[in-house]
């Protein structure tokens, strides 16, 4: 019986101690809550320790880096690459916008800039990427230069030349990989002044109101002689793929 009484006493003591602890907490916590509610306006932020706990539980997405990688533009060459297929000295250059290669710079060469005869010309296109397109030889003993303007609304480039007697018009027509083959006349081996896109005995007219050149090509029937022959001319217009009458 003594043992049972002692256990009951321990239990009663523990209950009394717990009640006292709860009472102390209520006495201290309630005034603190009331004072805080009275002093803090409606909608005031939570205590710093609570705010810190809330923020620490929220993951902040990483801020993207402000630095971005920029690619420096590639400058067009001021001089043609050496040993690119043209001899002589550069006498001029002009640019055109190629539909697949971007800006292309076209250089004109002559083997001599003096008044000597038998000078040979050369046309060298170089893309902005540095890619060198095939060189185009051309007979330009008397004159070689770009039309003014060098291009028109067709996107083609026009070069005028004179191999010694009549003027001519060379047309650079862009294609998927560069420019169409000039198509030099196979019956005139060794010469480069007459071909599919090299119109000998011709001149440029315009550009017209649609910003397109017309190629006016003449023909001498040399009857009874070339000096006294009958000369006629025809106007060639761009049809989207070629110049036709």
> Which of 77, 103, 99 lies closest to 90, judged by CA?
77
What does the pLDDT read at residue 228?
A: 87
Q: What is the largest CA-CA distance in the chain?
A: 158
Could you give the CA distance from residue 218 to residue 5 in angstroms, rounded to a whole number? Answer: 138
Could you give the CA distance from residue 45 to residue 38 in angstroms, rounded to a whole number? Answer: 14
Which two three-digit tokens encode residue 219?
């023909």
Which two three-digit tokens encode residue 103?
């800006």
10 Å CB burial of residue 168 (0-12, 13-18, 19+) is buried
Say which DSSP state 190 is in.
Answer: T
Output the CA torsion sign for 74, 75, 79, 80: positive
Could you give the CA distance from residue 45 to residue 233 in angstroms, rounded to a whole number? Answer: 92
Q: Where are the domains of the chain?
A: 89-244
Could you give the CA distance from residue 111 to residue 114 in angstroms, rounded to a whole number? Answer: 9
94 DSSP β-pair partners: 106
10 Å CB burial of residue 163 (0-12, 13-18, 19+) is buried
Q: What is the pLDDT along the chain (245 residues), one digit of tens a residue?
A: 454 455 564 555 665 565 554 454 444 445 545 555 444 444 445 555 544 544 444 445 555 454 455 544 557 888 898 889 999 999 999 999 999 999 999 999 998 755 555 678 999 999 988 899 999 999 876 789 999 999 999 999 999 999 988 999 999 999 999 999 999 998 887 889 999 999 999 999 999 999 999 999 999 988 988 888 899 999 999 999 999 99
> With left for phi above 0 and alpha for psi between -120 and 50, is residue 69 left, alpha or beta?
beta
CB 106 within 8 A of CB 95: yes
Query: Which stretches within the chain are classed as H helix?
Result: 2-39, 48-56
For residue 172, the number of C-alpha atoms closer than 13 Å in the C-beta half-sphere is 33
Could you give the CA distance from residue 204 to residue 37 in angstroms, rounded to a whole number? Answer: 93
pLDDT digits (tens, 9 = 90+) for 102-128: 999 999 999 875 555 567 899 999 998
pLDDT digits (tens, 9 = 90+) for 3-31: 445 556 455 566 556 555 445 444 444 55
CB 122 within 8 A of CB 136: yes
């Amino acid at each position: 019986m003594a043992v049972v009484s002692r256990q009951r006493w321990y239990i009663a003591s523990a209950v009394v101690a717990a009640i006292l602890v709860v009472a102390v907490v209520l006495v201290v916590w309630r005034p603190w809550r009331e004072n805080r509610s009275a002093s803090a306006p409606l909608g005031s932020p939570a205590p710093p320790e609570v705010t810190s706990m809330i923020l620490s539980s929220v993951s902040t997405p990483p801020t993207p880096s402000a630095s971005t990688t920029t690619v420096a533009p590639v400058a067009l060459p001021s001089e043609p690459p050496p040993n690119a297929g043209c001899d002589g000295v550069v006498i001029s250059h002009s640019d055109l916008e190629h539909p697949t290669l971007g800006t292309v710079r076209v250089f004109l060469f002559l083997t001599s800039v003096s008044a000597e005869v038998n000078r040979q010309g050369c046309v060298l296109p170089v893309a902005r990427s540095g890619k060198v397109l095939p060189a185009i030889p051309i007979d330009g003993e008397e004159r070689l230069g770009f039309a003014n303007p060098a291009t028109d609304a067709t996107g083609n480039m026009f070069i005028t030349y004179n191999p010694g007697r009549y003027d001519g018009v060379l047309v650079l027509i862009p294609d998927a990989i560069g420019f169409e083959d000039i198509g030099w006349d196979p019956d005139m081996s060794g010469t480069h002044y007459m071909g599919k896109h090299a119109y000998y005995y011709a001149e440029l007219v315009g550009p017209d109101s649609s910003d397109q050149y017309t190629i006016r090509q003449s023909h001498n029937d040399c009857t009874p002689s070339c000096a006294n022959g009958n000369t006629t001319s025809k106007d060639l217009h761009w049809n989207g793929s070629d110049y036709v009458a």
